Amino acid sequence: MSAPLHPRLDPACFGEPAARDERFTVVDIWHDCVNLPDGHPEKAQEFFHRQMNEEAAVLENAARSLWEFPDADWDLRMWLARQCADEARHTENYRRLFVSRGGRLGQYPVLGFQYRILGKVHTLIGRLAVQNRTFEADGLDAVTHAITEAREAGDDELAAVYDAQQADEIVHIRFANEWIKREAARNPRALIAMGQALALAARGFQQTFDREGSRVSKYGVAEDLRTQAGFSPEEIQDFVVITEHRRAIARQDAG
C-alpha cells in the first residue's frame, strides 16, 4: 500500500508508510499534527496518543530489522527481539493511559516519519545508529524531563510509566552502542554506511519537523543516563553543544 508523500518531503528520505487501521489519520509533517500550546487541557492526552504511535513505530522498526537481517549476530537478534517486547509494552502503556483518561483512538493525527525514514536505511548499522542511538537517545532525554514534570504535577501513575520506560530505553540505546562499536572494529567501512544513514535521517527529520517543530524540544541532555546507555564523555559533550545550539535558536525565534 502506497500513500502519497507530502510534497514538501524528499522521497529519497522516506520509504513506505507503516500500516495503520482506518481509525487513524497518518500525516507526514509535524505541522499537520494537533500541536497544542503549553497549559492546554488536552495537551497531555494528545501527547499520549502521539507517543503511542511512535512506540508502535519503534516496535515495527526493530521487528523489521529482525526480519531483514536474519544473519546478524545472534546476541543482537536477541536484543532486538527483547526490544520488540518492550516497545509493545510501551505502546500499550500509552494506549491504556490515553483511553483511561477519556481518549478515543484515532482522535488526533499521528506522524509516520520514524517508520518511513528507517525504510530508506538499508544497513543494520545505519538502522541502529538512527533508531536506537539517535531517535531513542532523544527520547531518553525527553522522558527524563517528563518524569520530573509528572512528579511535580503529582501524577504518580504517569511518573511510574515514564520511569519504567526510561529503564528500557537505556538498554535499547546501550545494546546498539555496544554492537556498533564491535562492528566498527570488525569492519571500519561500516562507519561510512552509518554516516550516510545519519545524514539521510537528519534530512528527513529536518523536513518533517521544520524549524517550528524543532523549537518544541526544550529539555536538555540526560548526561548521566546517556553514560549508562554507553555514550562516551566526548559524545555526550557533543550532544550538549547541539542541544544548546537548538535552544539558542528557540530563544531567537521566541524573542
Residues within the interface to Fe ion (CB under 5 A):
55, 87, 90, 136, 169, 172
Nearer to Fe ion, 165 or 207 (CB): 165
Query: Minimum distance from CB of 250 to Fe ion (Å)?
Result: 25
Q: What residues are paired with 26 via a beta bridge? A: 110
Q: What residues are paired with 110 via a beta bridge? A: 26
Q: Using only the alpha carbons of the chain, give its radius of gyration.
A: 18
Nearer to Fe ion, 5 or 162 (CB): 162
Within the chain, what is the greatest distance between any pair of CA atoms? 52
Retrieve residue 249's grid coordinates: 535558536
Nearer to Fe ion, 27 or 171 (CB): 171
Query: Minimum distance from CB of 49 to Fe ion (Å)?
Result: 15
Give me the helix-helix angle, 233-254 and 190-214, nearest 10°. 30
Nearer to Fe ion, 50 or 90 (CB): 90
Nearer to Fe ion, 46 or 136 (CB): 136
Nearer to Fe ion, 5 or 128 (CB): 128
**Backbone φ, ψ for residue 234 (5° rounding):** -65, -45
Query: Minimum distance from CB of 79 to Fe ion (Å)?
Result: 11
Calpha distance 133→197 (Å, rounded): 12
Query: Minimum distance from CB of 170 to Fe ion (Å)?
Result: 9
CB atoms within 10 A of CB 171: 17
Query: Minimum distance from CB of 112 to Fe ion (Å)?
Result: 17
**Backbone φ, ψ for residue 26 (5° rounding):** -105, 130
Nearer to Fe ion, 46 or 55 (CB): 55
DSSP-based three-state secondary structure for 29: coil
Residue 111 parent element (H or E): strand 110-111
Query: Minimum distance from CB of 228 to Fe ion (Å)?
Result: 14
Query: Minimum distance from CB of 248 to Fe ion (Å)?
Result: 29
Kindly provide the b/e burial profile for residues 138-149, where b requires at least 16 CB atoms within 10 angstroms of the residue's own CB. Answer: bbbbbbbbbbee
